[in-house]
Amino acid sequence: MLKYLVLAVLAVGLGVVGWWMLAPAPPGSGGAQREVVVPQLSAAAQRGKAAFDGNCARCHGENAAGTGNGPPLVHDYYNPGHHADGAFHVAVTRGVRQHHWRFGNMPPQPHVTDQQTRMIVRYVRELQEANGIQFEPH
């Protein structure tokens, strides 16, 4: 009896893992980009957009709308109350383990300077604000 119980638990566990790996990704997490309203950007955000386009857009998409390779940063998950500006700096300098999406880990981006990162964050925050994403406590 115990042998069958162990087999059943293993089967369920493997089923859950298989479902997690094969299930469709959450809406907006890949493939089709979400619609992003682009506001009139401040000078710092314009420089951030240039740095973003050259370093981040390949995975995070045009205007941080996401791609099949990386999540949209214009998303409630990245509101300042859940991911403060420092979280972006850590992601760029140290990388980040997958936790909200199924894109895998983000590797460090050592070629992106601290100043570029600050401007990229300014750009992302201005996009978020224009799209109704505000500080929400975590």
Average pLDDT of the residues in 6-21: 44
Whether 7 maps to a domain, the answer reads no
pLDDT score of 15 more than 80: no
Whether 82 maps to a domain, the answer reads yes
pLDDT score of 20 more than 80: no
The pLDDT value recorded for residue 34 is: 73
Report field, pTM of the whole predicted structure over 0.85: no
Q: What is the pLDDT of residues 60-97, one digit of tens each?
A: 999 999 999 999 999 999 999 999 999 999 999 999 99
Q: For 72-117, give the DSSP string.
A: -SSSGGGSTTTS-HHHHHHHHHH-B---SSSS-PBPP-TTS-HHHH
At CA 31, angle to CA 103 and CA 55, rounded to 5? 60
Whether 6 maps to a domain, the answer reads no
Whether 33 maps to a domain, the answer reads yes
pLDDT score of 6 more than 80: no
The total domain count for the chain is 1
**CATH at 113:** 1.10.760.10
Cα dihedral 46, 56, 103, 82 sign: negative
pLDDT score of 102 more than 70: yes
At CA 42, angle to CA 73 and CA 56, rounded to 5? 30
Average pLDDT of the residues in 25-45: 74
The pLDDT value recorded for residue 107 is: 97
pLDDT score of 7 more than 70: no
Q: How many CB atoms lie within 10 A of CB 80?
A: 17
Q: What percent of the chain has pLDDT over 70?
A: 76
Write out the residue range of the structural domain in which residue 109 sits: 29-130
Letter string b/e over residues 9-30, b meaning 16 or more CB atoms within 10 A of that residue's CB: eeeeeeeeeeeeeeeeeeebbb
Whether 42 maps to a domain, the answer reads yes
